[in-house]
Amino acid sequence: MNGIANKKGASQRRRSVVDERGSSADGQGSASEKRLYEKWLSVLCAGMAIFGVGVMLVGYKAPTVGLVATVAMLVGASALFAMKAKQNMRE
């Protein structure tokens, strides 16, 4: 019985810490946190797309339909995250 009470107390403490920080998972994060996260994701996707293009240019892997589609999706995701970050900056 005591173990169950300790688990409940620990989960309530974790929940209160998350509430204090303003978790963005439930929509309570600040706009600057979201903008930073979206900007970071945009840069990450762009970096992976550049890496994919580099792999094809160097000749390490032939440009297959899947690889080209992956690079195209990464470029699209990078642009989408950049636009969302810019939109959050205006709000």
pLDDT at 10 over 60: no
Asked if residue 39 lies in contact with residue 81, where contact means CB atoms within 8 angstroms, the answer is yes
pTM (predicted TM-score)? 0.64
Average pLDDT over every residue of 4-19 = 55
pLDDT classification of 67: cutoffs 50, 70, 90: very high
Question: Which of 83-87's residues contact partners 24+ apart within 8 Å by CB, and which partners?
Answer: 84/38, 85/34, 85/35, 85/38, 85/39, 85/42
Q: Residue 43: pLDDT above 90?
A: yes
Residue (of 43, 12, 11, 41) closest to 24 by Cα position: 41
Residues 74 and 46: beta-carbon distance below 8 Å:
yes
Average pLDDT over residues 20-48: 78
